Amino acid sequence: MDGVTFQLRWQHLCKNHILRIVLLLCLLCTTQLTHAKTLLLLSSKVSYYQEVAQSIQINASAQGIPNNDFHTLTVEQFKQQREPLNQYNLIVAIGTAAATEALNHESKVPLLNIFIPKNAYDSIHSSNNRITTRKVSAIYLDQPLKRLITLACLLKPKAKKFGTIFGPISRSAQPEIEMLAKAGGMELKYDFLSKEDNPVSTLKPVVTESELFIAIPDHAILNKAIARWILYLSFQHKIPVIGFSNAYTNAGAIASVYSSPDDIGKQAAEDIASWIKDGNNSIWNPVYPRYFTLSTNPAVARSLGISLPSDKELYIQFKQKEAMADDK
């Protein structure tokens, strides 16, 4: 065999080998997509949506559900690829945009909406007539109001006058929080605020007449507009603020209670596993987050003369107080 013939045969063998590898990789990718049973639909590539998706997969794996059971797409990718939804057994929509997109498709695939404010879910739910033909549920992003009251009572147990401001959305929470405050022997000072109102003139009387202020989430635009005034006025009048995000704590609230992407992802994974493996249909009852995080601002606490336990100790005390309230 001359050198030229040997070289040609060698090139032919190499090409065949490479072709086999490429075909094998394509087959593996196709198999993984074919076996994907749950679509994780993200509202965008924003980091916290990705963190929720990662948390679901990590915690689901601990529950015995392999990673290749999940297929992750953003809403933009989903629209470009025109993925058929009916190939999945479950869709998990992460965020409001993903929930809206999933519900706008003619599909009977069960849909779990997570990391979505309760008011956004209620609005989508009430305006979409397709929901009656499929299983749809949610894990809200908001905290139950009693958690805000519980945290307030732990940090300033002698306070008898709580203040808050209701926006266009949160005003529906007025009866519940007023009832919770009354049940705890407290008086609730409050007012209503819209985007057209002067925030200072509305907030100042409420803050100055309160011993502690509770910030309640509303429209994102309104949240940002009034947060700095709440924190400014409360600092000026030495009134502690309970917030609803870690950003609120970092900006000057004495503490906040919220559910992190990992908290929401963990709950979703557990509920999905319970439904898939045990047929537990409680997943189809919309709920507030089971897991939550507490953050504190020791510097603000010191300036207000309030003694703070460590975050770990506060969490234990909080869980105990919450459990006692649930037993009543």
pLDDT at 132: 61
What CATH class has 36-140? Answer: alpha beta
Burial class (CB in 10 A: 0-12, 13-18, 19+), 45: exposed
Q: Which helix (H) or strand (E) holds 298?
A: helix 298-303
pLDDT at 36: 65
Tell me the whole-structure pTM to 2 decimals: 0.85
Q: Residues 152, 212: contact at Cβ < 8 Å?
A: yes
Strands 293-296 and 38-42: unpaired
Q: Could you tell me the CA-to-CA distances from 313 to 171, 218, 225, 317 in Å, in that order?
A: 33, 30, 33, 6
CATH code at 145-258+297-327: 3.40.50.2300
pLDDT tens-place values along the chain, 328 residues long: 554 444 445 454 445 555 454 444 443 443 333 456 999 999 999 999 999 999 999 999 999 999 999 999 999 999 998 778 889 999 999 999 999 999 888 788 999 999 999 999 998 887 766 556 789 999 999 999 999 999 999 999 999 999 999 999 999 999 999 999 998 889 999 999 988 889 899 999 999 999 999 999 988 767 887 899 999 999 999 999 999 999 999 999 999 999 999 999 999 999 999 999 999 999 999 999 999 999 999 999 999 999 999 989 999 999 998 888 776 6
Q: Residues 41, 8: contact at Cβ < 8 Å?
A: no
pLDDT at 8: 40
Name which of 274, 302, 259, 306 is nearest 118 in CA terms.
Answer: 259
pLDDT at 221: 67
Q: Residues 27, 239: contact at Cβ < 8 Å?
A: no
> According to CATH, where is 3.40.50.2300 located in the chain?
145-258+297-327
